[in-house]
Amino acid sequence: MAKRTGSNVALWVALGILGLIVLGGIVVVIIAAMYMRSDEGQQFGDTLGKLQRIERAAPEIVGAFEKYLQANQEFPSSIDEIKASMSADSAKTCIEFFEYKKPAPEDPNSTIVMWTKDMPMLMGGEVRIEILKDLSSRQVQTIPLQSTKKKQVPAPAQ
């Protein structure tokens, strides 16, 4: 009988631990759902949706630039000149989110030719997508350091 009692205790301990893990998971889901309903959560979800659209369109946008460069040996004067090489959805995403500046022939390959406006992220941060002259792309995130945020200093007494 002593062995049976020991195995019952181990079973109850295991069930207790499992119950705590499940309870912890439920709490995490509730907190995440509450956050996603907040203004900051809504803004974050909106930014993630935009980033997904941009990432889906990026290969077609870069492909349109490659095709134009092969045919003309220079970058287009405007985005309108490469829209026809893209699907309607990618062209719409390109026009809606990106800004473009034709690089000069002597500009280095690291020159940014297309970029999105900054989109809000968590903790006061921002994110944007950039396409460089060499047609590589990158996601740039800026998040302010909490430890170096400017503190409000009271105005000196007069």
Q: Which of 143, 117, 114, 139 is nearest to 129 (CA)?
A: 139
Q: Which of 115, 85, 87 is nearest to 101 (CA)?
A: 115
Q: Does residue 154 lie within any of the structural domains?
A: no
Of 13-27, 65-79, 108-122, 143-157, the range with the highest mean pLDDT is 65-79
Burial class (CB in 10 A: 0-12, 13-18, 19+), 85: middle
pLDDT, residue 43, reads 76
Q: Does residue 70 lie within any of the structural domains?
A: yes
pLDDT, residue 145, reads 75
pLDDT-derived band at 1, boundaries 50, 70, 90? very low
Q: Does residue 3 lie within any of the structural domains?
A: no
pTM of the model: 0.66
Residue 73 structural domain: 39-146
- Tell me how many domains the chain contains: 1
Q: Does residue 121 lie within any of the structural domains?
A: yes
Q: Does residue 17 lie within any of the structural domains?
A: no
Q: Does residue 90 lie within any of the structural domains?
A: yes
Q: Kindly tell me if the per-residue pLDDT of 115 is higher than 60.
A: yes
Distance (Å) of CA 47 to CA 25, 29, 34, 50, 139: 26, 21, 18, 5, 13
User: Taking a C-beta distance cutoff of 8 angstroms, is the pair 76, 68 a contact?
Assistant: yes
pLDDT, residue 131, reads 94
Q: Does residue 23 lie within any of the structural domains?
A: no
Beta strands in 87-125 (DSSP E): 98-100, 112-116, 119-120
Q: Does residue 158 lie within any of the structural domains?
A: no
